[in-house]
């Protein structure tokens, strides 16, 4: 029995214990990343046609949204976040993407926008908006542009 002897550590055992402690500390302080949510890729968004697709076809192409608009018939919102967990510290959001698909009154896609989070500010990364049929035309330009385009027969009933 070894009741009377003191236990001493040899150099090899001490180094093994020290290496084990260093390894545990290193593993405890490595970054772990977690992804939350879903945002469609640019390839998937390219399949969504502005002015053509509807709510149903968007849900079929991309999938159901993460969130819907708060108003009746609002847009679709897809939100994806990436968090970094570092040891005992609180998780930190390092990346966020929001894809917003808005619809017009008939439920047809009006625009597709992708937003990011940079330095705590929301930044528009890409935007596809339905073009209006009036290009850089003011009310006065429209009014004076129609002068001379009248047919007298339309007013006299001869047309």
What pLDDT, on the 0 to 100 scale, is given for residue 1? 47
DSSP string for residues in 5-33: SPP---HHHHHHHHHHHHHHHHHHTSEEE
| H or E segment to which residue 82 belongs | strand 76-86
**Within the chain, which residues score under 50 in pLDDT?**
1, 4, 133-134, 159
Q: For position 89, what pLDDT does the model report?
A: 81
Residue 59 to residue 66: CA distance in whole angstroms:
11
Q: What is the pLDDT of residues 40-79, one digit of tens each?
A: 988 898 899 888 888 889 989 998 887 665 555 678 888 8
């Amino acid at each position: 029995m070894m009741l009377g002897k003191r236990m001493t550590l040899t150099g090899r055992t001490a180094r093994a214990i020290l290496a084990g402690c260093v390894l545990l500390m290193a593993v405890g302080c490595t970054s772990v990343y977690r992804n939350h949510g879903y945002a469609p890729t640019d390839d998937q968004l390219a399949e969504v046609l502005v002015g053509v697709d509807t709510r149903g076809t968007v849900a079929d192409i991309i999938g159901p949204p993460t969130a819907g608009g708060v108003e009746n018939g609002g847009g679709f919102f897809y939100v994806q976040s990436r968090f970094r967990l570092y040891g005992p510290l609180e998780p930190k959001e390092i990346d966020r993407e929001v894809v917003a698909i808005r619809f017009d009154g008939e439920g047809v896609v009006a625009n597709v926008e992708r937003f990011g989070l940079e330095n705590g500010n929301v930044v528009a990364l890409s935007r596809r908006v339905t073009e209006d049929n009036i290009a850089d035309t003011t009310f006065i330009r429209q009014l004076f542009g129609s002068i001379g385009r009248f047919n007298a027969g339309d007013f006299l009933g001869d047309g």
